[in-house]
């Protein structure tokens, strides 16, 4: 049989070894847990920022659509010049070449009485297409 003294020595050595290993691995385990927690928090923050960016972009685009519609509605038959207005200049890059040429004859956007309704409809259709393309309809 094992002597009680040896049993005490072996128990102390085994206990000491387990205690030492625990104290050596505890910081590593804590570091891994904390690293994962910080990584998840960072990922959540990035997702939150991305959602906010998408919302801001969507609101900006909705603002453009509203601005364009108000600009189109303000066109009248009294030699209205849309060229140079803020709403037209933000819409202009999105217009087809032919539509732009129609409105910018001689670099002046003058819409005679007989063409006002057609011009408004033409621009409104372009804005409708952009709104649909942007998924805002």
Both tokens of 127, joined, read 């804005």
At 38 the pLDDT is 94
- C-alpha to C-alpha distances, 23 to 8, 26, 35, 111, nearest whole angstrom: 22, 5, 19, 84
At 115 the pLDDT is 59
At 112 the pLDDT is 55
Cβ-contact 90, 70 below 8 angstroms: no
At 66 the pLDDT is 94
Cα gap 94→68, rounded to integer Å: 12
At 58 the pLDDT is 93
Cα gap 106→29, rounded to integer Å: 74
At 64 the pLDDT is 93
Cβ-contact 127, 65 below 8 angstroms: yes
Residues of the chain with confidence (pLDDT) below 70: 1-2, 77-81, 105-118
Encode 39-75: b = buried (16+ Cβ within 10 Å), e = exposed: eeeeeeeeeeeeeeeeeeeeeebeebbebbbebbeeb
Burial, 25: exposed, middle or buried (Cβ in 10 Å; 0-12, 13-18, 19+)? exposed
At 99 the pLDDT is 82
Cα gap 36→38, rounded to integer Å: 5
At 19 the pLDDT is 80
Cα gap 114→77, rounded to integer Å: 8
Which domain does 10 fall in, by range?
4-133
At 78 the pLDDT is 47
Domain count, the chain: 1
């Amino acid at each position: 049989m094992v002597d009680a003294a040896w049993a005490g020595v072996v128990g102390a050595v085994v206990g000491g070894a387990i205690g030492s290993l625990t104290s050596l691995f505890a910081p590593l385990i804590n570091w891994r847990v904390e690293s994962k927690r910080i990584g998840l928090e960072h990922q959540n923050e990035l997702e939150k920022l991305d959602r906010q960016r998408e919302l801001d972009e969507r609101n900006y685009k909705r603002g453009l659509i509203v601005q364009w519609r108000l600009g189109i509605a303000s066109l009248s038959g009294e030699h209205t010049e849309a060229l140079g207005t803020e709403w037209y200049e933000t819409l202009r890059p999105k217009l087809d070449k032919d539509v732009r040429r129609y409105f910018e004859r001689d670099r002046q956007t003058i819409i005679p009485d007989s063409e006002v309704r057609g011009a408004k409809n033409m621009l409104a259709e372009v804005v409708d297409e952009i709104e649909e393309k942007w998924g805002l309809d």
